[in-house]
Amino acid sequence: MKVSKALTIAGSDSGGGAGIQADLKTFQEFGVYGMSVLTAVTAQNTTGVQGVYPVELDGLEKQLTSIGNDLTPDSVKTGMLYSGEYIERVAYFVKKFGWKNLVVDPVMVAKGGATLLGREALDAMEKYMLPIAKVVTPNIPEAEALTGITINNDEAKKEAALLLFDKGARYIVIKGGHLENGPHVTDLFFNGEEMCEFVDIRVNTKNTHGTGCTFSAAITAELSIGKTVESAISNSKKFIQSAIQHGIDVGSGHGPVNHFAYRRILHEHC
């Protein structure tokens, strides 16, 4: 039996809500065999990040080589890549092994607005990752950091999408959750020719940890089983909306989204 495989290259979240852990949970929910390359180990929980400990660069390269020599992924996603040097190395190995269907979740800005990567890493993201990305999924602060555009309305969001396309990304999804636009959240999708919007009800919840990781991992899983980009994004929107609506109330801070909510809903309606 042929098994679709997806690889995540990201940091570990000890709290289990985001990063590698969220990605592997999501892959499993889509029936995809998940593999992982760790860029860093983080000490974190629902209240925040208490420490970040990068994997040695040689360890990163050995992990990538191990996957490339034996377990060719049908799709790949990147999350927290830690630094410009790590970004350059990951891009090198993606090209070396000819991995397709690269989904780049440019984890650069924390929910509170703090920049997680410096200018050098942003430059590396633009130079090495965007040109080889099939899909890039920035939130508003990340799109602002990558483009230098202040995004405070729909027109600015469209301008940022055009600029990201010019930088090499083939498909762009700019997530609109950070924009204050009332009871709805609007994500902008651009395929290089036309733009369309995905509109969902804004969920009033504090349990949103891992939203971006989970959404991009769902896209990655869908691509690995042969879905078109448009179909992958549409299905992933349904998946993440269910995960947010049925978030898990654990810990004393921002709890995680619910990775098994969508499957349960589908089962209940069968």
The yes-or-no answer on residue 208 being catalytic is yes
Instruction: Return the residue matching tokens 């004393």.
Output: 252
Q: Which two tokens stand for residue 106?
A: 């440019």
The yes-or-no answer on residue 270 being catalytic is no
The yes-or-no answer on residue 213 being catalytic is yes
Q: Which amino acid is at 236?
A: S
**Pick the catalytic residue: 210, 227, 237, 247?**
210
Pairing of strands 102-104, 75-78: parallel
Distance CA 219, CA 50 (A): 29
Helix (H, G, I), strand (E, B) or coil at 136: strand
Q: Which two tokens stand for residue 261?
A: 């909510």
Of 30, 27, 35, whose CA–CA distance to 72 is shortest? 35
The yes-or-no answer on residue 211 being catalytic is yes
The yes-or-no answer on residue 115 being catalytic is no
Of 111, 75, 108, 42, whose CA–CA distance to 236 is shortest? 75
**Pick the catalytic residue: 175, 177, 227, 247?**
175
Of 181, 108, 96, whose CA–CA distance to 141 is shortest? 108
DSSP E strand stretches across the chain = 5-13, 33-45, 48-54, 75-78, 102-104, 135-136, 171-174, 184-190, 195-201
Q: Please count the other Cβ atoms lying within 10 Å of the Cβ belonging to residue 70.
A: 7
The yes-or-no answer on residue 34 being catalytic is no
**Pick the catalytic residue: 39, 147, 213, 220?**
213
Distance CA 257, CA 40 (A): 22
DSSP 4: -
What is the Cα gyration radius of the chain?
17
> So which residues are the catalytic ones?
175, 208, 210-213
